[in-house]
A and B are shown apart, each in its own frame.
Chain A
Amino acid sequence: MTDDEPDPLDPEEGRYHPRLLLLDEFDGEIQGRKKFFKSLFHLREELDGVGKEEWTFEHDSFGPTDQGLSKLFRAYDKIGLVVVEKDGKLWVYKQTEKGSKFAKGLKRGLRILRKGDAEEREGSLELVAVVNKDRSGSEIEEDWEIAKRKAEVFGIDQ
Chain B
Amino acid sequence: MKVQGFQIERFARPELTSGGPIELQGVSDEDILIRGENQSGKTHTFNALLYSLLGETIALQRGHGNAVELQLSGDLEIFRGEPGKKIHSEGQDFGPDKAEDIIRDRVGSRDLLHTHFLHSRLNELPLERLPQSQRVSRVLDATSDNLSERITELEEQVEELQADIERKEAERNSKERYRRRRQRQLSDIRSQLEKWSTVEDLAESGRLAEISDVFQRDPELERQIDELTSEKRSLITDIREKQNERTRAKELEEETREIIIKALEEFICPVCEERVNRGEADSRLDNQHCPFCDQSTDVKETFRHLEAEKQQSEGQAEEINRELEELRERRDEVDSQIQTLKKERPEIAELNSYAVDQLRDFDHDIDGIHAKAREERAEAEKALEEYSEKLENVEAAIAGLDEKITDLEEKRESKQARIDQLENEDVSTKLSDFEETWNNHYQQITPKIAEDIHLQRNGEIVLVNADGRRREYDRRGDLADAEVVLLNLSFVISLNQTALDRGSIDWETIVLDEPFARLDRGLKEDAIDYLRSLDTQFILTSSDEYIWQELSHATTLSLQRQYKLTDFTDD
**A residues adjacent to B (C-beta < 8 A):** 76, 79, 81, 98, 101-102, 105-106, 108-110, 112-116
Known: A102-B273, A109-B263. 18 other contacts (CB 8 A): A76-B270, A79-B270, A79-B271, A105-B174, A105-B266, A105-B267, A105-B268, A106-B266, A106-B267, A108-B178, A109-B265, A112-B251, A112-B259, A112-B266, A113-B260, A113-B263, A114-B305, A116-B309
Contact with A along B508-532 (1 / 0, CB 8 A): 0000000000000000000000000
Q: Which residue of A has the minimal Cβ distance to B264?
A: A109
Contacts of B268 in A (CB 8 A): 101-102, 105
Does B262 lie within 8 Å of A112, measured CB to CB? yes
Cβ contacts under 8 Å, B262 to chain A:
112
Nearest first, the 8 A-B pairs at minimum CB distance are: A109-B266, A108-B266, A112-B263, A109-B263, A109-B267, A105-B268, A113-B263, A105-B266
Contact A113 B306 (CB under 8 A): yes
Cα separation A81 to B259 with both chains bound (whole Å): 27
Give the shortest distance, in Å, between B280 (CB) and chain A (any CB): 16
Contacts of A105 in B (CB 8 A): 174, 266-268
Complex interface: chain A residues within 8 A of B271 (CB):
79
B248 at the interface (CB under 8 A from A): yes
CB-defined contacts of A116 to chain B, threshold 8 Å:
309
Q: Chain B residues near A79 (CB, 8 Å)?
A: 270-271
Interface flags, B246-260, vs A, CB<8A=1, else 0: 001001000000011
Q: Which of B248, B270, B273, B302 contacts A115 (CB 8 A)?
A: B248
Find out whether the CB atom of A113 lies under 8 angstroms from the CB atom of B273.
no
**B177 on interface, CB distance cutoff 8 Å:** yes
A-B contact list, 13 entries, CB within 8 Å: A76-B270, A98-B270, A98-B273, A101-B268, A102-B270, A105-B267, A105-B268, A108-B177, A108-B266, A110-B263, A112-B259, A113-B259, A115-B309
A137 to chain B, nearest CB (A): 28
A47→B169 CA distance, assembly (Å): 35
Whether A113 lies near B302 (C-beta < 8 A) is yes
CB-contact partner of A81 in B263, B267, B270, under 8 A: B270
Residues of chain B with a CB closer than 8 A to A110's CB: 263
Question: How far does the alpha carbon of A109 sit from the alpha carbon of B177 in the complex, in Å?
Answer: 11
Residues of A within 8 A of B306 (CB): 113
B207-265 at interface with A (beta carbon < 8 Å): 248, 251, 259-260, 262-265
Mark B265-290 against chain A: 1 for CB-CB distance below 8 A, else 0.
11110110100000000000000000
Q: How far apart sit A81 and B302, CA to CA, in the bound complex (Å)? A: 25
**C-alpha spacing A115/B262, complex, angstroms:** 13
Specify which chain A residues have a CB less than 8 angstroms from the CB of B260 in the assembled complex.
Answer: 113
Residues on A with C-beta less than 8 A from B174 are: 105, 108
Interface hits, B16-50 → A, CB 8 Å: none
Q: How long is the Cα–Cα vector from A115 to B313 in the complex, in angstroms?
A: 13
| Bound CA–CA A110/B305 (angstroms) | 12
A110 to B, closest residue via Cβ = B263
Looking across the interface, which residue of chain B has its beta carbon closest to that of A78?
B271
Residue numbers in B under 8 Å from A81 (CB-CB):
270
Given the complex of chains A and B, what is the CA–CA distance between A110 and B306 in angstroms? 12
How near does chain B come to A95, taking the closest CB pair, in angstroms? Answer: 12
A113 — which chain B residues lie within 8 A by C-beta? Answer: 259-260, 263, 302, 305-306
With a CB–CB cut-off of 8 A, which chain A residues contact B178?
Answer: 108
What's the Cα separation between A81 and B266 when bound, in Å?
17
With the chains together, A81 CA to B268 CA distance in Å? 12
The distance in angstroms between the C-alpha atoms of A76 and B251, with both chains bound, is 32
**A116–B270 Cα gap in the complex (Å)?**
24
Task: Output the residue of B259, B266, B306 with the most chain A CB within 10 A.
Answer: B266
A109 CB to nearest chain B CB (Å): 4
When C-beta atoms are compared, the residue in chain A nearest to B260 turns out to be A113
